[in-house]
Structure 1
């Protein structure tokens, strides 16, 4: 049955290989079930509810990916999108988390519609590749900045706004130790280095008296009622969160597409430069995002960590199904996950390292084209400095067509991009941001 459904022989793989690939991918991405509830908890959401929502949304998206698309790709709440949700939309805009979930739901519903039409290609083609890479890099800097702040490696300063924190503070010192541990594991290419780094750091935290073990390690899943079906869709339109919806949709769309193409190419599943069954693959993420909003979590995205499973032979959706089953088991370990997420030094190294991995795409930016590279520069710089992913994107999207027009290249700008620029100008100039 497995052979027929997943076409194992055709893909040149076996059941044991797929299971090993699934386990490998799971350990490289399971850190998200610890980090995501911690980040969204900053928005006032119930930790246990977000934890269960994170796991369930990941299972839904990943199962669709595995069973319908037959790809070894994992879907889970995206890093960067969760930070945007908690620190920009809720923290910066002053919007309650229920309304923010409403924006995620609307973006997810639009993503579902786009996944069923060819309009998704027009939306992707309208944005120059360099600007796409700049958005990824800017989000990476933003995530790293949050990790440095949470661990107090960077603190507020009346004179300079920001400055280096006291490295002798126990939590800050533990963060440095945890970061070094993760970097050593990373340098030796240890699978699941982020998750293993968290566990080792937790052990050190316990020995330093910074962590108390929970009264129980295993418990039945609980708390979902605190976040499920709490989204306020009406509040989205009352507050005019159109730029927020667009930001969620835009980042999810091209981040997921880029990741899927990269993993598919690594696995040798691209045919004549095209991505077979792309509609089902994108739909998996779209449904994951929509169901995630209903359950109580930020938008999902395809995980580049899926490449770890592909590297050890994963070639079919059986790898994704294996990850889904392992994620289901984590539902019963919420007590220990809650303790781990409550210690900034345990989660901050992951934020810093993921940010580093994301900013590496700057090498793909076409630095010789001034009219493209300067807007890209603004996107990268303004995201962390304004503490807003949407503001960074907005300024870059406004400046790009202006520079292109000045250079006499206005015809090279996709017509829909001018619409983006006008909408962002209205949002930044006249609406709250």
Structure 2
């Protein structure tokens, strides 16, 4: 089906759901003269670049760039001119789903294969015996980095950051950066590692890395709170993409012939509906004959993990990334890697709009400890499950104690922190027998 034919069905519906409630008086203002020009609007300038020498060849792509926007219904994004135009350049994934509400659990899931019961945007950290996509990448020598717009310095650990209001000079400072949209900093095995934490970088670092030709192979990009549509509108986010993404699509230092770019949203806006989000596979790694088409295979944010695993024959996390029903590999990648996707009938697609009901270590109302993953699982990469040091392999999902309502005891999960009193230096990662 052509993209234009598919999208026409959404135009009428989208006109009534333009996210009026999210609209503000803010008008898009470029933070810099270009996406590769460093700016004081990002607080600190970059004086470092990455130095990755090796490129690990993938079966379909050698670089993947994830760009996440916020809180928008599929029809709203799909009928916005900038997104319509972008869809003609790639494959529109018409049945891609967020995995829960609100924001933070989705970001955690994309990196860890589970949201561990989280149902809010509080300040959490995940112990160092729990693996993430970083472990899988490093296990194969694949370089990676996260780039966070308006994060004040590389590896910043704080809950948020308020800076000079570059959009409305003279107005009160604005909280452009929120930790909840920075998935890797939540994992102790990344944020508390002195080498790994240097790869949680700013947008000025991104500009520096591109100019110096040192972009890594796996990249996660989070625009700030206005540019990602969280505090604004889809049209505001579209203006950001015209400023930032469109020029990069023609820059071979970013979008080389082997680059896949996944543009998507963390969750939809209408939480009473199925959590379908706009997701687009673009970049020069997308076959020419598939550009401007749609793919109705059922995908979720877990598919971001399985697709990467299939491309590079990685190990798995042994969590939802190995649950075939919710972790289909992007079809054009599955076809070239030999992975067989699961057909999920429309009436059997799980509901992904539930929030706060799953027991887990990040759910104070239904607390259970972190369990070991399914060590017998096999993911899309065909390898074994990655095990971090200190993992209690005997504490499985089947052997967990019943959930405890800590809120009834006026307590919270031990993995929740206070934004006012906690800094990165206050966290002591668990090790060996001290890990739950």
TM-score per shorter chain, which class?
under 0.3
Higher relative contact order structure (alpha carbons within 8 Å, sequence separation ≥ 6): 1
Higher helix proportion: 1
Higher strand proportion: 2
Which TM-score applies when normalising by structure 1? Answer: 0.26
Which TM-score applies when normalising by structure 2? Answer: 0.26
